[in-house]
Structure 1
């Protein structure tokens, strides 16, 4: 009897991956949940665990092969397997084999582990430690904060005790289910030294160096090798962030962008420098402050640039007279607050107006998947929100079937969670259209950038009194410029303009929303 090992779900809009490294070979014994291989997608690295214990059978997809979701990778033949920590594989480390609830019961030691980070998120950066070695902590007290590409994750103490050792310092990158620290003894300040032989061997060892000379046993990702060859980089010039210091494709891109090709072989083509070197005087340099980009900021930068490089992005503009919406809001805001317990804002009007317009121009609510256009018969509305750490886009699902009150409550709740860094990955995925309100910061006009794979984003702006010609007379009206950025590959100019006009009409006469006109 054999068990199939298949490609897991790779994340939203990700349909294929490259087999980067096999940790096992045919005939090797494997334990259930032991890591078998590592897949590399455009966005993340995914580890594939063994679905059952047994002996490694046939490997169907070799290193370097491209595989789709649910494709067959290998087979496992049923039978006795050795424990994961005793397979003899040089690539299996002690922390990976330790259970998440581990610790030395005899000495009262408890490991602090990296919690589940969310779907398709395999690593995080240690942002802040709230405690130091020797501090007493109570159960569930916050020990540290981790930062992923999207959200911040607080790590509570799994038990009361004293921090004996911090294994991952601020700024370190840690893998899902990796060890962060060790708690020992009781919360009275008594420290029990961790004298486990396996701990001293595994924990005291520094992270594997990325420079290649001493890491001949680590096989870099095939796509990374190809990228290094194309960029003219050698192995010593790239810092690996994969398992055991393995170089991944993204590592090569970062090294090339940072100008790491200095001193590369003259026969290899040098990577194109992203910008001319800055000429900074010593006096200016002393007054500068260099701060490493957060993972969230790096992800924002990458996704925005990917959007520009992928979509045929174009922006169309219009303006809307906000007189009727403001009058309706002023008339009913007190009654609305009393009945629903939430303030009546402008965002619910814009959300309703966009849902109304998307029904008439469905291509703005669609996305491209290969050579197909996927039309959405629902509206999952993304509401862009600025936070102290960067821009995030929580998603309000099925906004087209929600009332004004339900929309306002969802926006308020998700906005508060976004500012506190409490949004989960699931709450920021699956959006079909996005609204961005730059007006709250005073923006009069801007061109928003698409949030891929979406095909449309509406930019709201500041409401400003301007003289307008109304029935042959000049009147002062509260006006707002609207901007719709769209993917011209599937949205024609006619559809984009029609969409924006429908939004304008619904806002200038909100009764149209009630009549579905």
Structure 2
């Protein structure tokens, strides 16, 4: 029975999508609910799975093609067996063992994985497979590439000989089209700089009180909350939430000539993924506990790396926090996430000599940056907002006492 495979139903804010990767090719066997194609939109990558056991009969939309909501992208044959070349493998094995072995190895490599292997000039036999029946998946190739540099020194002498034949001064280039998601991110960042009166104010916070509190309770916290680890982000989310309640303009947005004040705090947390920067949103952070914040952020990070963040995860948001410190950034100027009017940048914790009561102490310090839209927020409010976050973090008890 033939079944039309259609693109997902896109939200009203998404006009169309692009076929990113076909994980199955015509004639390849598919199991029910097995991933067969990724559709990339301006915001997220959507996964389309096989409707039943069978094979893909025909691909209507190839990789890179634009598709509309619910447009037919392939024809699926339910209940059909794999194509003749795959079915002929056992017969070939009986006739000639070496040839059969080569066919089996090739069948173990999925289309997306094969594409990565060819682009990087890898040997499939060296890549351990974690897929079904030892098959090599796209993630296996990516993991192999991440670990490859460690083995590079040993292979360098053997690889050096062919390089002698390369003309002096020859340099290679690789042109890769920008993904739809990254192009959209770039467009929004440029628009934010062009359309907003963006200004940044800086301050620094002594992280010693939070670090001592975390050190004292992190084991108990993890035990009580089912393995959820106590990090620094939850303290910043809760401090930002309290500061947003005190300074509503920082929690507002601009819609044309209107200023929209939000009576709730939905804080977006920037997550770096292979596909680009994504900002999933924590909803109603005022009612969330530290454990709920940490667990939700951990889930966002995991699903972001797997490409499984959905539209609902990233829509809305009244304020954003980005943490460049995890990559070693000492100071930066974050760019606004429209239509929000402010974004908080966290940075690396670094020990520095500080004057405390006339004495020099070595303290773990972090620079904070608040970029804001001056059309909506006055400098006084921005500075006081950032100072409020600093005060709450340097004396965490104030968040509990609401003082």
Shorter-normalised TM-score: what interval? 0.7 to 0.9
Measure the CA separation in 1 of the matches of 2:307 and 2:396: 35
Q: What is the TM-score normalised by the length of structure 1?
A: 0.60
Deviation at 1:495, TM superposition (A): 0.3
Deviations 1:47-101 (A, max 9, x none): xxxxxxxxxxxxxxxxxxxxxxxxxxxxxxxxxxxxxxxxxxxxxxxxxxxxxxx
**Contact preservation (8 Å) 1:114, 1:177:** yes
Match of 2:181 in 1: 296
In structure 2, the residue corresponding to 1:426 is in which secondary structure?
helix
In structure 1, the residue corresponding to 2:63 is in which secondary structure?
coil
Aligned to 1:122, which of 12, 15, 37?
Answer: 15
Q: Which has the larger radius of gyration?
A: 1
In structure 2, the residue corresponding to 1:117 is in which secondary structure?
coil
Deviation at 1:118, TM superposition (A): 3.4
Aligned to 1:328, which of 208, 213, 221?
Answer: 213
The verdict on how the C-alpha distance between 1:406 and 1:185 changes in structure 2, with shifts beyond 3 A counting, is closer
Deviation at 1:117, TM superposition (A): 3.2
Aligned to 1:150, which of 43, 49, 53?
Answer: 43
Measure the CA separation in 1 of the matches of 2:260 and 2:29: 55
Match of 1:503 in 2: 389
Deviation at 1:429, TM superposition (A): 1.1
The verdict on how the C-alpha distance between 1:422 and 1:118 changes in structure 2, with shifts beyond 3 A counting, is farther
In structure 2, the residue corresponding to 1:291 is in which secondary structure?
coil
In structure 2, the residue corresponding to 1:187 is in which secondary structure?
coil
Measure the CA separation in 2 of the matches of 1:283 and 1:129: 39
In structure 1, the residue corresponding to 2:360 is in which secondary structure?
strand
**Contact preservation (8 Å) 1:144, 1:156:** yes
Deviation at 1:173, TM superposition (A): 1.1
**Contact preservation (8 Å) 1:138, 1:187:** no
**Contact preservation (8 Å) 1:316, 1:485:** yes
Measure the CA separation in 2 of the matches of 1:512 and 1:138: 55
Match of 2:147 in 1: none
Match of 1:98 in 2: none
1:313 maps to 2:206: no
In structure 1, the residue corresponding to 2:369 is in which secondary structure?
strand
In structure 2, the residue corresponding to 1:162 is in which secondary structure?
strand
**Contact preservation (8 Å) 1:117, 1:153:** no
Aligned to 1:367, which of 253, 260, 268?
Answer: 253
The verdict on how the C-alpha distance between 1:311 and 1:284 changes in structure 2, with shifts beyond 3 A counting, is farther
The verdict on how the C-alpha distance between 1:326 and 1:114 changes in structure 2, with shifts beyond 3 A counting, is same
Match of 2:81 in 1: 188
The verdict on how the C-alpha distance between 1:329 and 1:190 changes in structure 2, with shifts beyond 3 A counting, is closer
Measure the CA separation in 2 of the matches of 1:442 and 1:170: 36
Deviation at 1:374, TM superposition (A): 1.2
Measure the CA separation in 2 of the matches of 1:351 and 1:507: 11
In structure 2, the residue corresponding to 1:165 is in which secondary structure?
strand
1:140 maps to 2:33: yes
Query: What are the within-5 Å matches in structure 2 for residues 48-127 of structure 1?
Result: 108-127=1-20
Match of 2:53 in 1: 160
Deviation at 1:450, TM superposition (A): 0.4
RMSD between aligned residues: 1.7
**Contact preservation (8 Å) 2:28, 2:83:** no
**Contact preservation (8 Å) 2:52, 2:79:** no
Stretches of structure 2 lacking an aligned partner (at least 5 in a row): 85-166
Deviation at 1:110, TM superposition (A): 1.5
**Contact preservation (8 Å) 2:46, 2:310:** no
Report the number of matched residues: 320
In structure 2, the residue corresponding to 1:469 is in which secondary structure?
strand
The verdict on how the C-alpha distance between 1:171 and 1:476 changes in structure 2, with shifts beyond 3 A counting, is same
In structure 1, the residue corresponding to 2:372 is in which secondary structure?
strand
Query: What are the within-5 Å matches in structure 2 for residues 203-214 of structure 1?
Result: none
Deviation at 1:119, TM superposition (A): 4.1
Deviations 1:276-303 (A, max 9, x none): xxxxxx9989611100000110010000
Which structure has more helix as a fraction of its residues? 2
Deviation at 1:139, TM superposition (A): 2.2
1:402 maps to 2:288: yes
